[in-house]
Amino acid sequence: MSGSATSGVQEMSVEVAFAGMRRVAGVVFKAGCPDCRVSFELGASELRLAIGATSRTTFYSFVCPECGVTVRKPAGERIVELLTGGGVRTLRLHSAG
Ligand SMILES: [Zn+2]
């Protein structure tokens, strides 16, 4: 047995790319059905956002996977940002001008 000393020199370069973290794919939104009261998760493609002239006419809609009813809920500014940022199809109800 020869006493060989292995020097464990390890260069660890930690590259944490928090700044460049983007989650474009696989965005899931939690929603609930007021009809059958089942909560579920919906993908961006299953949601639709309609932006009206005012916040009162701005809403998002989805079809309940449980009972099949179309649920319509008012969307505030934060929800609009969330949905549009998550890739939800946006329909603008008011025409410019
Ligand atoms: Zn339902």
For ligand 1, the distance from its centroid to the CA atom of residue 75, given in whole angstroms, is 19
Reported in sequence order, the residue ranges of the chain that DSSP labels E, i.e. its strands, are 28-32, 39-43, 47-51, 59-63, 70-74, 89-92
How many angstroms is it from 65 CA to the middle of ligand 1?
7
Question: Separation of 68 CA from ligand 1 center, angstroms?
Answer: 6
C-alpha 74 to ligand 1 mean position (Å):
17
Local structure of residue 93 (DSSP, 8 states) = -
What pLDDT sits at residue 11?
Answer: 58
Provide CB contacts within 8 A for 63, sequence distance 6+: 46, 69, 70, 71
Task: Encode the chain (97 residues) as per-residue pLDDT tens digits.
Answer: 555 555 555 555 544 444 444 444 568 999 999 999 999 999 999 999 999 999 889 999 999 999 999 999 999 999 999 999 999 999 998 765 5
Distance in Å, CA 51 to ligand 1 centroid: 24
Single-letter amino acid code for the residue at 95: S
Annotated domain spans of the chain: 28-92
Q: Is the pTM here over 0.85, yes or no?
A: no
